[in-house]
Amino acid sequence: MPFSRFTKMPHEKRERLLTVAAQEFAAHGFEAASLNRILEEAHIGKSSAYYYFEDKADLFRTAVEYCLDQLQFAPPNEAFSSLTVETFWPTIAQTYHQTLLQAQARPWLFGAVRAAEHLTTESLQRAPLAELIRSLERYMMGNIGAMMKRGQELGLIRTDLPDELLIAWFRAIDGATDTWLLAHMDHLDQETITHILRQTLASIRQVLA
């Protein structure tokens, strides 16, 4: 985790550092990203950087967590309990759409998070990165699990198959769309993105119903 001085950094300077870092990691992945390039672009001296972060892995973890917070992949878990039969799928669709709008405006948010999914076995031996992956998995499983549970309570999601399988189906469809959109986002207009979103959600609903 970043040192306490990082939280005391002026907001604008902190945002710039995290944005530049996320862009670098999204473009090159963790291993190939250049810490020197990040610091130069963020206007932070190399000697000063270690007052804020222990190393590149620590900065990567913080940048990915920042991107995850910006994207807001799902409503808070407690928000699911208030959903009804009428609002369940529209709320999921709206959240999904807002996330894609964020990704379209700032594709590096998505790219940095996806970079965490492509860490090498060697990189995962580093404690900050191993904990990041565990944290991401808890976050994703917690949100999807809460969604799945509420959908089942409302009779909208099937209960005849193991939840682990349903979650795997959801993640497979969702992940395939995310990967494709990230690779083609620069060439897509809003109408096409919306169409892909609707078809993705229709596919998810079909396999989960």
CATH of the domain at 130: 1.10.357.10
Claim: this prediction has a pTM higher than 0.85: no
C-alpha to C-alpha distance for 65 and 58, rounded to whole angstroms: 11
Number of domains in the chain: 1
Cβ atoms of 47 and 116 within 8 Å: the answer is: no
What is the domain range of residue 187?
4-208
The Cβ-side half-sphere exposure at 149, using a 13 Å CA radius, reads: 12
pLDDT tens profile 9-31: 888 998 999 999 999 999 999 99
For residue 72, the 8-state DSSP code is -
Can you count the helices (H) and strands (E) in the chain? 10, 0
Mean pLDDT per 10-residue section of the chain, whose length is 209 residues: 75 92 95 94 84 88 90 72 93 84 83 91 92 89 90 96 94 89 83 90 94
C-alpha to C-alpha distance for 48 and 35, rounded to whole angstroms: 13
